[in-house]
Chains A and B, each alone.
Chain A
Amino acid sequence: MLRLAWANLMHRKLRTTLSVLAVGIGIALLLVSKGLANGSIAEVNQRMQSVDAQLVVLPAQENILFTNGAPFPGVFERLLARQADEHGPLATAVIPVFFAQVRMGGQQQRVFGVDPRQMSLFLGSRRVLEGRAFDQAFSMAEKTAELRRPTTQIVEAESLPPEILEAGLELIIDDRLRRVGEFDAASGTNRPYRIGDEIRIMSRGFRIVGVVETGVAGRVFAPIQTLREILNGGEPWSTMFFVKLRPDLDPVAAADRFQSVLGQQARVELKTEYGKLLHESFAQVNMYMTASSGLALVVCFLFILLTMYTMVLERTREIGILKALGMTRLSLLSLSISEALVVSSSGALIGIGLAYGARYVLNVLRPLLTVELPLSLLAVALGLAVIGGGLSALYPGYRAARLEPAVALTCE
């Protein structure tokens, strides 16, 4: 049966090749879009998990993907801090983060504004590969703490003395971003970032002072005080907080306590739940991407159906011969399904190859993107191809099986 199916497919090589390619492209589309979505989420989650904290405090909005700017005024930091000194009832550290968007490495990057004095909590076991984890920014942080004490006076935006702000124009980047670097017009290629490079972002010249191992929470870190000065007039607002709990506390109970302190404007979650939250936030986008690639796949299977149907029409006489020789309806249906399965499973394998190719190309052109192609996703793609291919062949196979041999043999 398979030999006959193979012979039939090989007899119409161009059509078979086109069908296989159609399935392959559909499968590749599905794999790359899912792989890109999952890869991005997994990477962000893994980065977040690297922070030495147990809780995250997020704005009480549904979608955490678009958390930017500073939704938390300083009062939240103070409320949290009350729970958090060395002798505090709940936490040993509250870690405010201020997100900003800049363009580095040829694409948008989220800058993690962090207090230089808390940088060790973000590094964890990861090493500083070059330079230092902030340099003069430490002194800037200290001075800012002095100058920015809560006051009833109205202060002008960016009123910090320029020499203090200058000390805080520092960046730490991860090794992956360092390798990608910036396009160099003189050489026409990308030049990796180096310690001491000045990067023009937010209308300021920031210096790269350190390179850390890939896997830390952000690809780019800047002093939170600097970002607040530049973007928020020095107001101590934050985008989110990490909270490092006292080791003897139950994180779930502590999260509830924090939640009751902060009220409805914030949501306190376990850091381990962050991945789930990301998936929830990404659900609609993910659904759209899945639907788009699923639709493409359905079109591919319709292409197979059309191919198989055309083959049945073209081969009516051959089907008549097979029936005259005694091939049963079931065998004819099986023949049609076998042909479709060969096409769809070959297409799936080609699609997997194309997806790996696309991942390689993306890795070259957009090295900061992560496309995850786990075996489970490949198995799902293969399964979809097999099921879709089989279903596509049912109607043409049924048509073939129903033909009367004497009638089929009269077809030209």
Chain B
Amino acid sequence: MTPELMIDACNLRHAYSHGAMVEPVLHGINLRIRRGEFVVIMGPSGCGKTTLLNLLGLMMLPTQADRLEIAGVDTRSLSDAARTRLRREAIGFVFQRFNLLPTISAYRNVVLPLHLRGIQPDGQAAELIRRTGLQELAHKKPAQLSMGQQQRFAIARALVGRPSLLLADEPTGNLDSANAEAVLSLLREFHRDWGQTIVMITHNEHLTVAADRVLRMCDGRIIDGA
């Protein structure tokens, strides 16, 4: 893998098992993404976009892969603990449903990745929240926030540990157009300032304007942009 590659996947295959029934979802994905690249993945529902993102985020193991390197690490032989460590230190997630923990405040959600790394939150976390423009709401629980506000806190949480790879699964899917624009602006802003690699799934063609590259998937294959 060349040093400038953040993701290098070759012949990535995945199938879900439902008892005796096996449902193939990804059929030999070949994908290379450079460090600092902003890539958007598009495709119809059920084409395997989220599965691909979960595999890239080490959230599950592929059924088969000739190569799957993330941030220069060959992930195929990693133990669960090593995959967890790599995920904690190198990867940030933004989900369609925000996935903030409902039991703690928005601020505690944002600084949670730091606590998991054993780092005490410093001014940078507060600065990140300030840049989302929601510092006055940081003490509130997620249920007390609008969906747009929750997603902005979720982005702050994904970025607080300065991961080199940010994976976003339809981050604007549950938002109205104004909030979707705000979230996209935020992503672009952080991408410009910090230069993270971003891989974002979306159905929204308008959001592709921010991307360096657009991958199109269909039936478990990348059909364009690889």
Interface pair B116/A404, CB less than 8 Å apart:
no
Q: Pick from A184-192, A244-252, A315-323 the stretch touching chain B.
A: A315-323
Contact assessment for B54 and A317 in the assembled complex, using a CB-CB cutoff below 8 Å: no
Q: Which residues of A contact B84 (CB under 8 A)?
A: 323, 326-329
Q: Is the CB of A7 within 8 A of B104?
A: yes
Among the listed A11, A328, A409, which residue makes an inter-chain contact with B99, where contact means beta carbons less than 8 Å apart? A409
Interface residues on A, range: 20 to 34
Within 8 A of B (CB), among A285-342: 317-318, 320-329, 331
Cβ of A409 to closest chain B Cβ, rounded Å: 7
Q: Please state if B102 and A409 are interface contacts (CB–CB under 8 Å).
A: no
Chain B residues with CB under 8 A of A113: none
CA distance A406 to B117 in the complex (A): 21
B93-136, CB < 8 A from A: 93, 95, 99-104, 108, 112-113, 116-117
Q: How far is the CA of A10 from the CA of B108 in the complex (A)?
A: 15
A40 interface contact, C-beta 8 A: no
Total interface residues on B, using CB and 8 Å? 25
Cβ-defined contact, A321 with B103, below 8 A: no
For B101, give its contact among A318, A323, A406 (CB under 8 Å).
Answer: A318
Does B80 contact A409, Cβ atoms closer than 8 Å? no
Q: A406-B59, A409-B99 are in contact. Are A4 and B81 (CB under 8 A)?
A: no
Across the interface, do A317 and B99 meet the contact criterion of CB distance under 8 Å?
A: yes
Q: Which of B89, B101, B104 contacts A326 (CB 8 A)?
A: B89
**Least Cβ–Cβ distance between B25 and chain A, in angstroms:** 12
A407 at the interface (CB under 8 A from B): yes
B75-97 to A contact mask, C-beta < 8 Å, 1/0: 00000110011011100010100
The answer to whether B88 and A326 have CB atoms under 8 Å apart is yes
A154 to B197 alpha-carbon distance, docked (Å): 114
CB distance from B13 to the nearest CB of A (A): 16
A17 sits at the interface (CB 8 A)? no
Interface: B148 (CB within 8 A): no
A51 → chain B closest CB, angstroms: 63
Shortest distance from the beta carbon of A18 to any chain B beta carbon, whole Å: 18
Question: Smallest CB-CB separation from A401: which chain B residue?
Answer: B80
Bound state CA distance, A329 and B80, in angstroms? Answer: 9
Residue pair A4, B104 in contact (C-beta under 8 Å): yes
The reply to whether B103 and A325 form a contact with Cβ atoms under 8 Å apart is no
The complex places the Cα of A69 from the Cα of B211 at a distance, in Å, of 99
Write out, one digit per residue, whether chain A residues 229-251 have a CB within 8 A of any chain B CB (1) or not (0): 00000000000000000000000
A8 contacts the other chain (CB 8 A): yes
The contact of B103 among A8, A324, A407, by CB within 8 Å, is A8
Quote the shortest CB–CB distance from B220 to chain A (angstroms): 16
Q: How far is the CA of A157 from the CA of B164 in the complex (A)?
A: 104
**A328 x B113 contact (CB < 8 A):** no
Q: Is the CB of B112 within 8 A of A325?
A: yes
In the complex, are the beta carbons of B87 and A324 less than 8 A apart? yes
Report how far A317 CA is from B96 CA in the complex, Å. Answer: 14
Instruction: Tell me whether B48 is interfacial, beta carbon within 8 Å.
Output: no
Contact mask A1-38 → B, CB, 8 Å, 1/0?
00110011011000000000000000000000000000
A382 and B133 CA atoms in complex are apart in Å by: 48
User: Distance in Å from the Cβ of A59 to the closest Cβ of chain B?
Assistant: 65
| A11→B157 CA distance, assembly (Å) | 21
Q: Which residues of A contact B80 (CB under 8 A)?
A: 329
**Given that A4-B104, A7-B104, A326-B113 are contacting pairs, would A404 and B59 also be in contact in the complex, using a CB cutoff of 8 Å?**
yes
> Which residue, B59, B80, B95, has most C-beta atoms of chain A within 10 A?
B59
What is the minimal beta-carbon distance from B120 to any residue of chain A, in angstroms?
13
Report A-chain residues with C-beta under 8 Å of the C-beta of B95.
Answer: 409
Shortest B108–chain A CB gap in Å is 8
Which residues of chain B from 4 to 34 have a CB within 8 Å of any chain A CB? none
Question: Within 8 Å CB of B93, what residues of A?
Answer: 324-325
Q: Is the CB of A407 within 8 A of B60?
A: yes
The reply on B43 being an interface residue by CB < 8 A is: no
The minimal Cβ–Cβ distance linking A213 to chain B, given in whole angstroms, is 59
In the assembled complex, the Cα of A168 lies from the Cα of B103 at a distance in Å of: 76
Cβ-based interface call for B171 (8 A): no
CB of A312 to closest CB in B, whole Å: 14
Name 14 A/B residue pairs within 8 A (Cβ), A-sorted.
A4-B103, A7-B101, A317-B99, A321-B99, A321-B100, A321-B101, A324-B57, A325-B157, A326-B85, A326-B87, A328-B81, A328-B85, A404-B59, A406-B54
Q: Which 4 A-B pairs have the closest CB atoms?
A: A326-B88, A406-B59, A11-B103, A406-B60
Further 11 A-B residue pairs, CB within 8 A, beyond A324-B93, A409-B95 = A4-B101, A8-B103, A325-B88, A325-B112, A326-B84, A327-B88, A328-B84, A328-B85, A329-B84, A331-B116, A409-B99
